[in-house]
Structure 1
Amino acid sequence: MVAGVWSDDPSLQLRFTTEFRKLLIVGSGVLPRFVEFLKKGDNPQLQFEAAWVLTNIASGTSDHVKVLINLNVVPIFVHLIASPRDDVREQVVWALGNLLGDSPQNRDFFLRCGALKPILNQLNDHPRLSMSRTAAWTLSNMCRGKPEPIFEQVKEALPALERLIHSDDEEVLKDACWALSYLSSDQTNNDNVTRLKTIIESGVVPRLVQLLLHPSPSVRRHAIRVLGNIIANGNDEQVLIDACLALSDLSDQSNIQKVMRLKTIIESGAVPRLVQLLLHPSPSVRGPAIRVLRNIVVNGNDEQTQLVISSGALQCLTKLLTQDYNKSIQKECCLMISNLTASGNIVNIQKVVDANLIAPMIHGGERMHETIMQSLGMSGYKHHKNLP
């Protein structure tokens, strides 16, 4: 087999390259030969088989990836993305996805080699579904990793990602949403505001809201993650309104996917930001934000409820009840306090009392008085019978 690969006979080269691809042999000294085959533009079938061999090797260990990079295969792969053959182009995009997904260092190296733009070009002019899937997956790898990629190097992917999230294919949707999730996640550098502004202006938010109703739980979960990131880190009022309303509706649903949706909202880091939004100047933001938090309290577990409390929600509710005279907002405050105390949980009741929430509710009128009495329940009320 080794002799066949090193032969000058194109038919033997193709035959034994195919055999090596099936065997996935790394240490036989033939990898440089396969890299040479990538350059044989007059034999695209051989190029394809060689790319397939190297793709399989790139899916192995980090040592395998390092061997390929040291053979200077990356610039050759990037060049082959412009091949006239669909199968060659798709194979090298797949190979690049394997290689750059190995580490942030490889990802950054590939970006410096100019790998992004040729991949984006494959998504123009109605590509084959298989190419859309491969390119979306490779793009998600390009946006993934800690430390995050430099946003200036990957932001040109946003128009393509905006198109990909309109796909009807579940795999494409998941990977495109993953890429947006990585791009919108909190970063330690100083480009946070500009980055999120650019993501929002790319037009992805309306479609992400639509995807919250997608039949696939996985697609919904990925869309929630992106919207949670935007809520956690964004400042655009209309986007916050849309995102909070969407998450409010979603977190209010109580079917088998409820727990996973709440978990995803919380893992996105949205809860502390939602608590901050309780004091947003616009009631159109405050209302949906409090409904999301209330739904977490109603539908979540005790740990999730305590996260809402520890993020400062009770102190915000006190301010809303004493300073916000919007009846709808005050009603939401009463309902959230009711949800927090309805079980008679003494710890939660004590926290409500310590936050000085009882007095403004009782002094706020008959409707509030009835609500808090029902909320505290007989055991809680007796425990705190000297309420102001």
Structure 2
Amino acid sequence: MDRLSVDRIEDRKKNYQKGVDILEMKKKREEGAIQLRKKKRNEHICKKRAMGVDRIVASNDMRDYQPNTFSFPAEMVPAVLEKRDQRLAAPDYSAFQRFTLLVHFIIAEEDEAVLTEAAKVLRKLLAGNSQPSLKTLVEIGISSKLIKLLSSKNENLLSEVSWCLINLSSGPADISSVMLNQNIAKTLAQVLEKCESVELANNFAWILGNISADSIDNRDTILETGVVKTLVGFINENFNGSSFVIWTLSNLSKGKPMPEEHIILDLLKIFPRAIETDNEDILVDACWILSNITDGEKYIDKVSDIGIIPKLIDLLAHPSQDVQGFASRVIGNIIVNSDKYTRTLLNLGILDNLGALLYHPRRSLKKEALLSLGNFLFGNDEQVELVISHPCMKNIVRFLLDADQNIRYEALWAIGNATHTSNRNIIKKLEKYEVLKSLVENLKDKHPKTLVVALKAIDCILEAGTQTSADTGINMLAYKFQELGGVDMLEFLQSHPNVTIYNIAVHIMMKYYGVEEDVDENLNGSESNGFVFS
């Protein structure tokens, strides 16, 4: 393999953007996605249980006490609570005063029937459009009492307590940290082992999912309890009622370092059933789990052994954009991390579904499809031929001139990967798509990374032209490039401030057009990190 091809591999793996570590970018994107998923999941609370409350407000900003908006009318206090403490229903008490009394009442009370009614009021307040401060609640000590109540045998009380804890755990990360210090992870793990209620199990898992979403340390603390095995067992016994449990497992599978091997193997036990369902939420979360597990080569064989690769390809055509997105991410991980299954994916007709995604209105799906196609184009000549001969190739080339910079860059990488071959027939087929013409247009781009990829692809194409000129002595591809104005662009790029771009432009001019470099004293002894040719 030539130096340009090696450079391309390393660039693709490590430098999606100059000066930015792709692993760090991926980590930040993942953390942001997890928090967004946590927020969306928590916005479903009142669909399940809020009882007349419109929705839960997941914004941290609105979780601070606002005396002008927080409402706690005396009418919300049931008779059983008023009988125990008349101040709770006193008309001259402010909402905050009444709320503080309620919290202290719950902390001190031991009667479970009374506590159930008190927790119900608290749950309604926490799920309301106007909320008390969650931080204030925790500081007073309510979370410690609620965690203690998880050991109760009273299902009605457990239901109300679990909803209160769901609301608390959906707040700022420091609240989750406090609750972990109060042993909530171990307590929930123990309760889940004996839990027979599907609703309660989902609620308990939901709390753990919220907490684990806040940090890797939180995730690890929860994993240490061994709760994953319990949750997996619950899913296999109560699959249709396990959507929140699977969501929690998706959070517990995220992040670096990856969970220990025995945990990964437990997670894989929910498949293939988890991606054969019609439930969109479960499909999304199941694919998220697979995306986390396949983020590296280690477990891809295990994933393949389950027999789910054909189903993942089918999910690329799922009506849900979210399902398509996560399925394409899993497929992309398999392609990037293991050459072993490339041929299998191609034989299963993946090009048809990836090609269809190139027409998708969602930009991120187009990018994922281009990324996967680009990795196929970096395969052996047989694989490259399959992609180039497929109708999707026309769209890949079309995207070389797309108005979206990111889409254009992915298409450039795909074409650049295809040009790494030494097979002149492949280059000839590429030229039927007028690739050189589009590459010359990209030399007008202002983004250095775009210019570098375009120049490397041009160099590979012109090199193939030297192989076909043995009989005539004329490099027709170099001639065509000149006719398209490419040489003029190269001359212009020789004054580019980016050393890598300058070096590639000079290299192409010298190699294919016999033009000697005009040595600029200011560039004498170029930087050690410049482009190197062998």
Q: TM-score, normalised by structure 1?
A: 0.79
Q: Larger Cα Rg: Structure 1 or Structure 2? A: 2
1:223 alignment partner AA: A
1:93 aligns with 2:205: yes
Q: 1:116 to 1:343 in 2, by over 3 A?
A: closer
Q: Note if contact 2:106-2:118 (Cα within 8 Å) is conserved in structure 1.
A: yes
- Which residue number corresponds to residue 158 of structure 2? 47
Q: How does 1:359-370 map to 2 (within 5 A)?
A: 359-360=466-467
- Which residue number corresponds to residue 189 of structure 1? none
1:65 alignment partner AA: S
Q: Which of the residues 160, 170, 186 maps onto 2:280?
A: 170
Q: Note if contact 1:59-1:98 (Cα within 8 Å) is conserved in structure 2.
A: yes
- Which residue number corresponds to residue 376 of structure 2? 274
Q: 1:362 to 1:116 in 2, by over 3 A?
A: same
Q: 1:382 to 1:59 in 2, by over 3 A?
A: closer
1:60 deviation in Å?
A: 1.2
Deviations 1:288-309 (A, max 9, x none): 4556777433335442344346
Q: Which of the residues 314, 328, 350 maps onto 1:246?
A: 350
Which is further off, 373-382 or 92-101? 373-382
Q: 1:334 to 1:32 in 2, by over 3 A?
A: same
1:146 aligns with 2:256: yes
Count of residue pairs the alignment pairs up: 358
1:133 alignment partner AA: S
Q: 1:364 to 1:341 in 2, by over 3 A?
A: farther
Corresponding residue SS for 1:122? helix
Q: Which of the residues 109, 116, 135 maps onto 2:245?
A: 135
**Separation (CA, whole Å) in 2 of partners of 1:159 and 1:375:** 57
1:263 alignment partner AA: K
Q: Note if contact 2:315-2:323 (Cα within 8 Å) is conserved in structure 1.
A: yes
1:71 deviation in Å?
A: 1.1
Q: 1:350 to 1:98 in 2, by over 3 A?
A: closer
1:297 aligns with 2:401: no
- Which residue number corresponds to residue 178 of structure 2? 67
1:375 deviation in Å?
A: 7.8
Q: Which of the residues 128, 133, 138 maps onto 1:26?
A: 138
**Separation (CA, whole Å) in 1 of partners of 2:224 and 2:281:** 28
- Which residue number corresponds to residue 299 of structure 2? 195
Which is further off, 173-182 or 270-279? 270-279
1:343 deviation in Å?
A: 7.4
Deviations 1:13-61 (A, max 9, x none): 11111222233433322222212211111x1111121122112111111
**Separation (CA, whole Å) in 1 of partners of 2:250 and 2:116:** 33
- Which residue number corresponds to residue 236 of structure 1? 340
- Which residue number corresponds to residue 324 of structure 1? none
Q: Note if contact 1:244-1:288 (Cα within 8 Å) is conserved in structure 2.
A: no
Deviations 1:139-169 (A, max 9, x none): 1101112333234422321131421111112
Q: 1:68 to 1:116 in 2, by over 3 A?
A: same
Corresponding residue SS for 1:236? helix
- Which residue number corresponds to residue 519 of structure 2? none
1:223 deviation in Å?
A: 1.0
1:180 deviation in Å?
A: 0.9
Q: 1:168 to 1:346 in 2, by over 3 A?
A: closer
1:255 aligns with 2:359: yes
Q: 1:294 to 1:107 in 2, by over 3 A?
A: farther
1:240 deviation in Å?
A: 4.8
Q: 1:31 to 1:237 in 2, by over 3 A?
A: closer
**Separation (CA, whole Å) in 1 of partners of 2:339 and 2:430:** 23
1:358 alignment partner AA: G
- Which residue number corresponds to residue 266 of structure 2? 156
Q: Note if contact 2:162-2:203 (Cα within 8 Å) is conserved in structure 1.
A: yes
- Which residue number corresponds to residue 341 of structure 1? 437
Q: Note if contact 1:94-1:134 (Cα within 8 Å) is conserved in structure 2.
A: yes
- Which residue number corresponds to residue 413 of structure 2? 307
**Separation (CA, whole Å) in 2 of partners of 1:261 and 1:99:** 30
Which structure shows the higher helix fraction?
1
1:358 deviation in Å?
A: 2.2
Q: Which runs of 5+ in 1 are unaligned?
A: 187-191, 322-326
- Which residue number corresponds to residue 528 of structure 2? none
1:262 alignment partner AA: K
Percent of aligned pairs with the same residue? 24
- Which residue number corresponds to residue 79 of structure 1? 190
- Which residue number corresponds to residue 118 of structure 1? 230
**Separation (CA, whole Å) in 2 of partners of 1:87 and 1:150:** 29
1:341 alignment partner AA: K
**Separation (CA, whole Å) in 2 of partners of 1:208 and 1:18:** 43
**Separation (CA, whole Å) in 2 of partners of 1:61 and 1:350:** 48
**Separation (CA, whole Å) in 1 of partners of 2:353 and 2:440:** 27
2:413 alignment partner AA: L
Q: TM-score, normalised by structure 2?
A: 0.59
Deviations 1:97-136 (A, max 9, x none): 11122211121222221010111112124533xx332122
Corresponding residue SS for 1:345? helix
1:93 deviation in Å?
A: 0.9
Q: 1:166 to 1:147 in 2, by over 3 A?
A: same
**Separation (CA, whole Å) in 2 of partners of 1:258 and 1:339:** 25
Give RMSD over aligned pairs: 3.6
- Which residue number corresponds to residue 110 of structure 2? 8
Corresponding residue SS for 1:84? coil
- Which residue number corresponds to residue 324 of structure 2? 220
- Which residue number corresponds to residue 309 of structure 2? 205
Corresponding residue SS for 1:99? helix
Q: Note if contact 1:232-1:274 (Cα within 8 Å) is conserved in structure 2.
A: no
